[in-house]
């Protein structure tokens, strides 16, 4: 996680590579936000930077979306047990963005700070 800034380049490159390799065009790509976890020897700013990289990717790469997990994670478990809400959020995003359903799929996001 000490190289979290690199995700600004690596994540969009991975998405582009998969899309090119699979030859399906700009297929929908859901990004699941890094869940909260209390790493014992890691500066928490690295996690925040990685989450920001995920957000920037979702904002800049066509046909991608970010599923927020800050409210359903567990700081004591690196792999939180609540997978159902993550799946529901991904499904809502896919229904709205990939299938054109008129539904609320995301919480409001700040425009600036």
Q: Is residue 106 part of a domain?
A: no
Q: Is residue 55 part of a domain?
A: yes
Q: Answer whether residue 18 shows pLDDT above 80.
A: yes
Number of domains in the chain: 1
Q: Is residue 54 part of a domain?
A: yes
Q: List, in sequence order, every beta strand (DSSP E) within 12-113.
A: 29-32, 64-67
57 touches 15 (CB < 8 A): yes
Give exposure, 21-38, as e/b (b: 16+ Cβ within 10 Å): eeeeeeeebbbebbbbbe
Give the residue carrying structure tokens 């995301």.
106
Q: Answer whether residue 72 shows pLDDT above 80.
A: yes
Q: Is residue 107 part of a domain?
A: no
Strand 64-67, strand 29-32: pairing:
parallel
In the beta sheet, which residues pair with residue 31? 66
Question: In the Cβ-directed half-sphere of 88, how many Cα atoms lie within 13 Å?
Answer: 7
User: Which whole number is the average pLDDT over 28-50?
Assistant: 86
Q: Answer whether residue 46 shows pLDDT above 90.
A: no
Sign of the Cα torsion 12, 14, 62, 35 reads: negative
Q: Is residue 8 part of a domain?
A: yes
Q: Answer whether residue 109 shows pLDDT above 90.
A: no
pLDDT at position 44 is 77
pLDDT at position 81 is 86
Q: Is residue 113 part of a domain?
A: no
CB neighbours of 3 closer than 8 A, spacing ≥ 6?
none
Q: Is residue 52 part of a domain?
A: yes
Q: Answer whether residue 41 shows pLDDT above 80.
A: no
User: What domain range includes position 12?
Assistant: 4-97
pLDDT at position 27 is 96
């Amino acid at each position: 996680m000490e190289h979290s800034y690199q995700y600004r380049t690596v994540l969009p490159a991975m998405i582009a590579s998969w899309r090119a390799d699979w030859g399906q065009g700009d297929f929908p790509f859901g990004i699941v936000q890094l869940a909260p976890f209390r790493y014992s020897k890691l500066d928490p700013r690295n996690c925040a930077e990685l989450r920001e990289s995920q957000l920037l990717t979702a904002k800049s790469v066509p046909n991608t979306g970010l599923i927020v997990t800050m409210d359903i994670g567990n700081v004591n478990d690196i792999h939180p047990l609540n997978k159902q809400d993550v799946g529901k959020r991904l499904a809502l995003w896919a229904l709205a963005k990939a299938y054109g359903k008129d539904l609320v799929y995301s919480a409001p996001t700040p425009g600036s700070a």
